[in-house]
Structure 1
Amino acid sequence: MKKKWLTIVPAVALTFTPLYFQQVEASNDHPASQTEQSNSEVPEKLEPILDIAPEHQPTLKVDSVGLEVELVQVKLNHFGFETDVDGIFGSKTEQQVMNFQKEHELMIDGIVGEEAWTTLLAEERQDMFTVDYAIFLAEEELNNDDLIFSSNGELYVDKEGRTFYNLKASSKSMIEDGGTGTVGFYNVYSDGEVILSEPMSK
């Protein structure tokens, strides 16, 4: 992940609307992977696939084979569309993918692309993306030991359907000098993207 140094902006220069944030302290042992809180119904060997964003998952269709196919089959069964979990994308799996797509008002083509992956994995990815993990991502991306992060705990969804937390960044040194310490707000997405933003209310 590319490292960036953050230029500290004096708190008096900020004109953000006041907002109450609940302080969240990340543990010293930051989560190395989101799969630590994955859904127990997914076999352990398939959990690493859950770390991959839907847009980076392979496109699956008839004759595809592998662990990704097996995960799709596990999720289809979870949603009530019964199919064999054998890692082989056959005609039965294709039909159940089409049934799943129809049920969720997706394009009905029997192909598991980004749209289908997003819907299939929505529950796991939301459960795994915690405030602590968002703080970890922000610390990794901004790489500034003077900053501490807090959140109101609300998980937001943007117009593209991506989930993110809105974190407040505060300067420890400014707080020690008697100031509010607030230097900015950031939207942190589950894929590690960190964007300068404004405070958001619940």
Structure 2
Amino acid sequence: MKKKLLTVIPTIILVATPLAIGVSPADAAPKANSQKIVAKAETRPTLRLGSQSSYVKKLQQILKDVKYDTGVDGVFGSKTQAMVKKFQADHNLSADGIVGAATWNALDQNKVERQQFTVNTAIMLGQKKLGNNIIFSGDGRLLKDSKKQPYYRFKAANKDWIKQGGTGTIGWYHIYKDGRIVAK
């Protein structure tokens, strides 16, 4: 009987510990949840050339969603590697073609930022600064500068110059969420 009692006591102590140290179960719960979220992020696989799986498929779909289309076949081939390297370079990451924690985090962040700062919003900001007679074109990729600030890169063309038979190109611009427009 003592053995059973000793086995139960540590369990009771562990459950009662938050209350014993003055922390309510409600305060303890968010910490447990945040730890689960961190643990989930850490369970993403490291993917590289030659990997084959369904996260490879998920990776390819995520890349496609953020305008780095590789095709979605579940095989981490040379095209997927090239797009991963391009994404990494565009986001000031080490462009090694290996998808580890930093690349997964950048992909997740890019998805959220694209929802908060759309291509159409960037074009409206550009037209507000440069005029409604300007047409913007680009590949729709949300990039990061050296200070990790997101921007879209657009070629700007003048509608009147196009009507006159020219390309209309007036330059390349980086348009930021805060309304900054930087000529490149």
TM-score (norm 1): 0.38
Q: Quick check: which one's helix share is greater?
A: 2
